[in-house]
Chains A and B, each alone.
Chain A
Amino acid sequence: MAAPVSLLVEFGGGAELLFDGIKKHQVTLPCQPEPWDIRSLLKWIKQNLLKERPELFIQGDTVRPGILVLINDADWELMGELDYKLQDKDNIIFISTLHGG
């Protein structure tokens, strides 16, 4: 049983448009049997934060190609990508590099 995790989730480069234009979201993930990782965070974002057009943010179980993910200001490729286990007070940033956001 994982304890609740509180995170600062940020969106940039136009990705914020899919989240009511709000760039910074202070969120607390509820308790769940498995520890939280990016994969489950994405599912949670899709259900709780994403306001419209999920296909422009999520593709399959990962982010749409062209959207960068930073975990505490570091490339998620260094952190294990989808399998990164979220820690309390983590800062997760999604930046769209796509034209028009």
Chain B
Amino acid sequence: MCQAREEYGGCEGPCGAPRVSCAQKCMKCKEASPVLVIRVGDAFCKACFKEYFVHKFRAMLGKNRAIYPGEKVLLALSGGPASSSMLQQVQEGLSRETAKKLRFIPGIIYVDEGAVCGQSLAEREETRRQMETILQASGFPYHVACLEEVFDLPSSILHCIPPDPAGPRSSYKEAVEGFIRQQREEETGGASVPEREVQEKLAGLCTRDMPGAEGLAASGARPLATARTDEMIRLFESVKTLTAKEELLQTLRIHLVLHTARVQGYSKVMMGDSCTRLAVKLLTNLSLGRGASLAMDTGFADDRHGNVVVVRPMREHSAKEIAFYNRLFEIPTVFTPALDTKAREKASIHRLIERFLCGLQAEFPSTVSTVYRTSEKLSATPGGAGPVPERCVLCLCALDTNVEEGSALQAILVSEQLSQKRLPAASPTGRGCCLGTEDQRGCCRNATAPGADARADLLPLLCYGCRLTVKDMTSLENLPPYVHSELERRKCRAAMKLEIQEFLLEDEAGNPGDS
């Protein structure tokens, strides 16, 4: 450790000696005594730290120009440190004098995940009560949702473009396709400008495309249906690994937040992911085979859902800065146990990566920011040639399973089938078996197990990362109904497409998951 520090620090001074000390003054105002070391050797006093923290938040919003004046923005609040300080930053921004005021209209959503995180009903009530206090104190409109409500979601949540009962959906879709095409054309010029234009247009479109009050509405304090809770617990019990549980929870949570945003007419969702969290997420997602959607999963703006864009304005604040800010300025937070609370260090990939990064960070203080900077360099532009890539049913990222012959994924599929000793039987399409994702589906159709059918139907519609999650589930029956109904819809469309295949002009190789 000593040596490592010397190598890293270079001329920092003798090993083991503190890099900075209290005797030193704040590096910014050079007057007050410092309270916190932000980067190696950079110590800030309380006042300068506050200014730095607030400025960083505003600069992140200003730089990205993603949120427009008068736009409705939903803040996803978990009660944890990052989202709580995000809420405080928004409050601070709205209280400024006119010239510097943030001009969007905020609302808050809190999702109660107590059912799957092992909280008893009484504990959940208590957490809820604490959260309500914070929510009410904010003075913003707020929505309290239970994770159980995902069972009531419409399958439209799995569409990139929200359905509208009146039916301007096709034109909207065309418009989006047009923009994506335009974006490709302008790609040579630079990615950020066309991207912004797309977002601008999307923001404009969604105001007229607001779905009405459908399904679950603003049910603030609906009594918890125990049956739903049991169903939710069963769903998570059917997942074998903590890694897959974490992934499933994230997916369900974003669906619920997205639904609330759409029903209530919000066009942006703010998530409180910190720089530290995003660095962990980057490496975790790489390890989970989600490399293809890294840019969306960790970038500032995530527009995969079409009319609701997820933004991450806290992405340059480290967990340490946030914890200090909350402590020094008494920002209320509510601690709720997560899935991995008190779990072993190697219980899930998420936890293992977090430990790895934190361990490195302790000795090399630039670790987290270096990893995070990598995520900044990723571009969300899809690499495929097709106009609109087929999307994963669960996470809505562009399918990354559209692979050419001899790819690693194909090799995995072939060896998987060989090891399961499924003999090549005549597939419904009449083509040979065991050649790719589509044919695997044909293959598995012949399997006798009752759950295998649904699984075989679902897997080809998932990205590689979501496939791994689903493979860790013992049964798919417990998945919320909207997943099943979307699956049916996709199947019908695929069947229809197969029928009219020969009349289509588009490149066949572009969409294997769809046929």
Residues of chain A having any CB pair with chain B under 8 Å: 12-14, 16-18, 52-53, 55-56, 64-66, 68, 70, 73-75, 77-81, 93, 95, 97-101
Contacts and interface: CB of A to CB of B under 8 A. Distances in A.
Interface size class of B (residues with CB under 8 A): 35 or more
B223 interface: no
B20 A77 contact: yes
Interface in B146-196: none
B341 A101 contact: yes
B320 A56 contact: no
B404 to A, nearest CB: 37
Given A13-B81, A17-B341, A68-B320, A78 B37 contact: yes
B335 A13 contact: yes
A70 B22 CA distance: 13
Contact of B335 (A16, A65, A81): A16
A18 B341 CA distance: 10
Given A14-B335, A14-B341, A56-B342, A75 B354 contact: no
B35 A73 contact: yes
Nearest to A95: B323
Given A65-B362, A77-B19, A100-B337, A53 B324 contact: no
B36 interface: yes
A77 B515 CA distance: 59
Given A65-B361, A73-B35, A13 B323 contact: yes
Nearest to A60: B1
Given A98-B358, A100-B343, A78 B338 contact: no
A75 B36 CA distance: 5
A78 B27 CA distance: 13
Contact of B351 (A18, A52, A55, A99): A99
Given A16-B335, A56-B342, A97-B276, A78 B328 contact: no
15 contacts: A13-B323, A14-B335, A65-B358, A74-B22, A78-B20, A78-B24, A79-B22, A81-B18, A97-B81, A97-B322, A99-B277, A99-B351, A101-B338, A101-B341, A101-B342
B344 to A, nearest CB: 9
A100 B338 contact: yes
Contacts of A56: 342, 345
Contacts of A81: 18
Nearest to B341: A100
B354 A78 contact: no
Contact of A68 (B19, B20, B22, B323): B323
A93 B21 contact: no
B440 to A, nearest CB: 35
Contacts of A93: 327
Contact of A65 (B280, B341, B359): B359
Contacts of A100: 337-343, 351
Contacts of B338: 99-101
Interface in B33-66: 34-37, 43
Contact of B327 (A18, A70, A99): A70
**Most chain A CB within a 10 A radius of its CB, from B35, B43, B323:** B323
A12 B223 CA distance: 31
Contact of B342 (A53, A64, A75, A77): A53
A37 to B, nearest CB: 13
A18 B335 CA distance: 13
Contacts of A14: 335, 337, 341
A73 B341 CA distance: 26
Contact of A66 (B22, B35, B322, B358): B358
Contacts of A79: 21-22
B335 A97 contact: no
Nearest to A56: B342
B350 interface: yes
B319 interface: yes
B171 to A, nearest CB: 43
B342 A74 contact: no
A73 B328 contact: yes
Given A13-B335, A73-B328, A74-B35, 5 more contacts: A70-B327, A75-B34, A78-B35, A81-B18, A98-B358
Nearest to B335: A14
Interface in B330-377: 335, 337-343, 345, 350-351, 354-355, 358-359, 361-362
A97 B280 CA distance: 12
A78 B361 contact: no
Contacts of A53: 342
| Interchain residue pairs A-B with the least CB separation, the first 5 | A100-B338, A97-B319, A66-B358, A65-B358, A65-B362
A43 B34 CA distance: 28
Contacts of B21: 78-80
Contacts of B276: 97
A64 B81 CA distance: 19
A58 to B, nearest CB: 13
Nearest to A78: B22
A65 B35 CA distance: 20
Contact of A74 (B36, B335, B350): B36
Contacts of B43: 75, 78
Contacts of A73: 35, 327-328
